Amino acid sequence: MYSDKQNALSSDQEALIKAAGEARRNAAAIYSHFRVGAAIEDADGRVWTGCNVESSSYGLSCCAERVALFKAVSEGVRSFTRIAIVAGGPNVATPCGACRQVLHDYAPDLEIILHNPKTHVTRVHTLQDLIPHAFGDSDLEEEE
């Protein structure tokens, strides 16, 4: 499912975008200057936010999507329905490969809402759209 929904968003989707935008303000994008905010909704309707946190050792940085997910998981949450990701730039920003994999591990049927406040473009995808043929639990069977 792919949808370019600029004016047809539900109030729940709009609220999630707003929460991600607020989280974006806290981004520690001290090297890239590319601020990202994320808000993930769990199965109980609670919202968990995150922003990107960068390190001078670039590989140690963490994306907003994983920060939000890890906050929820660290509190015992294991079921998620959707995530909003807010970032500027010329296009809507999609999750990186690492984030796609981690999101798939916890919520393979996740709705992904991408929003760019600069261009006012919003796109809605399923995680399956962004990571088809994903590696997951069923691929981890022990060898005999």
Stretch 24-32: mean pLDDT, rounded?
98
| Average confidence score pLDDT of the chain | 94
Does a structural domain hold residue 83? yes
Q: What is the CATH number of the domain that holds 125?
A: 3.40.140.10
Residue 42 has pLDDT above 60, yes or no: yes
Q: Give tens-digit pLDDT for 64-115.
A: 999 999 999 999 999 999 999 999 999 999 999 999 999 999 999 999 999 9
Quickly state the pLDDT bin for 3 (edges 50, 70, 90). low
Q: Which helix (H) or strand (E) holds 85?
A: strand 80-87
Long-range contacts of 90-96 (CB under 8 A, 24+ apart): 90/119, 91/116, 91/119, 91/121, 92/116, 92/119, 92/121, 92/122, 92/123, 93/34, 93/36, 94/125, 94/130, 95/63, 95/65, 95/130, 96/63
Indicate whether 144 belongs to any domain. Answer: no
pTM for the structure as a whole: 0.92
User: Is there a domain that residue 16 lies in?
Assistant: yes
Please count the structural domains in the chain: 1
For residue 34, give its domain range: 2-139
Looking at the predicted structure, is the pLDDT value of residue 2 above 80? no
Residue type, 44: D
Q: 32: pLDDT confidence band, cut at 50, 70 and 90?
A: very high
Q: Mean pLDDT over residues 40-50, rounded?
A: 98
pLDDT at 85: 98
**Mean pLDDT, to the nearest integer, of 36-51?**
98
The catalytic site residues sit at: 65
Distance CA 83, CA 115 (A): 11
**Confidence at residue 138, expressed as pLDDT on a 0 to 100 scale:** 85
